[in-house]
Amino acid sequence: MFLFIYRLPIIIHDSIIVALVWTLAIVVRYDLPLSPEIQGILWQSLPIVILIQSIILWYSRLYQGIWRFFSIPDIAIIFRAAIIGTLAIALILVLFNRLEFIPRSSLLFYPFFLIFFLGVPRLFYRLWYEHSFLLTTKNTQRVLVLGAGRAGDMLVRDMLRSPDGGYIPVGFLDDQKRLHGGKVQGVPILGTLAQLTEVAESLEIHLIVIAMPSATDRQMQQVVELCEKSKIPFRTLPKLDDIVANQVNLNSLRDVDIDDLLGRSKVQLDWQIIQAGLQQKTVLVSGGGGSIGAELCRQISRLNPTALVILERTEFNLYTVEMQLRQEFPQLQLHACLGDIVDPIAVSYLLSHYRPQVIFHAAAYKHVPMLQTQIREAAKNNILGTKILAEIAVQQGCEIFVMISTDKAVNPTNIMGTTKRIAEIFCQAMNKNHHTRFITVRFGNVLGSAGSVVPLFKKQIASGGPITVTHPEITRYFMTIPEACQLILQAGAMGKGGEIFVLDMGSPINIKYLAEQMIRLSGKVPDKEIKVIYTGLRPGEKLHEELFHSEEKLQPTEHNKILLADHRPTDYQSLIQALDALKLAVDQYADKQIMEILTTLVPEMTTH
Alpha helices in 534-590 (DSSP H): 572-587
Q: In the chain, what's the furthest Cα-to-Cα distance? A: 122
CB 489 within 8 A of CB 299: yes
The closest of 308, 303, 307 to 271, measured between CA atoms, is 303
Q: Active-site residue numbers?
A: 408
Cis before 33? omega within 30: yes
- What span, in angstroms and rounded, lies between the C-alpha atoms of 18 and 86? 11
Q: What is the DSSP string of 99-132?
A: TTT--HHHHHHHHHHHHHHHHHHHHHHHHHHHHH
Split at pLDDT 50, 70, 90, the class of 153 is confident
The partner residues of 446 in beta bridges, in order of sequence, read 479
Give 564's strand partners: 501, 555
pLDDT digits over 446-495, tens only? Answer: 765 655 677 788 888 888 878 888 888 887 777 777 778 888 888 888 88
Q: Domain 271-451+478-508+544-601: which CATH class?
A: alpha beta
Residue 225 CB contacts under 8 Å (≥ 6 apart), including other chains: none
Q: Would you state the pLDDT for residue 451?
A: 58
CATH number of 137-256: 3.40.50.720
pLDDT one-digit tens code per residue, 30-69: 766 766 766 767 777 778 888 888 888 877 877 766 666 6
- Cβ(396)–Cβ(352) under 8 Å? yes
Give the DSSP per-residue string, 493-539.
HH--SS-EEEE---S-EEHHHHHHHHHHHTT--BTTTB-EEE--PPT
- Where helices occur in 255-339 by DSSP H, the ranges are 258-262, 271-278, 291-301, 315-328
CATH 3.40.50.720 placement within the chain: 137-256, 271-451+478-508+544-601
pLDDT tens digits for 272-310?
Answer: 788 888 888 999 999 999 988 999 999 999 888 999 999
d(CA 452, CA 432): 35
Question: What is the DSSP code (8-state) at residue 544?
Answer: B
* 201: pLDDT strictly greater than 70: yes
Nearest to 444 by CA among 361, 549, 546, 362: 546
- For residue 434, give the nearest of 402, 391, 404 by alpha carbon: 391
The per-residue pLDDT for range 121-150, each reduced to its tens digit, is 888 877 776 565 555 555 678 889 888 888
Convert the pLDDT of each residue in 544-568 to its tens digit: 766 555 555 666 677 777 777 766 6
The amino acid that residue 478 corresponds to is F
Whether omega before 603 lies within 30 degrees of 0, making that bond cis, reads no
Q: For residue 594, what pLDDT is reported?
A: 95
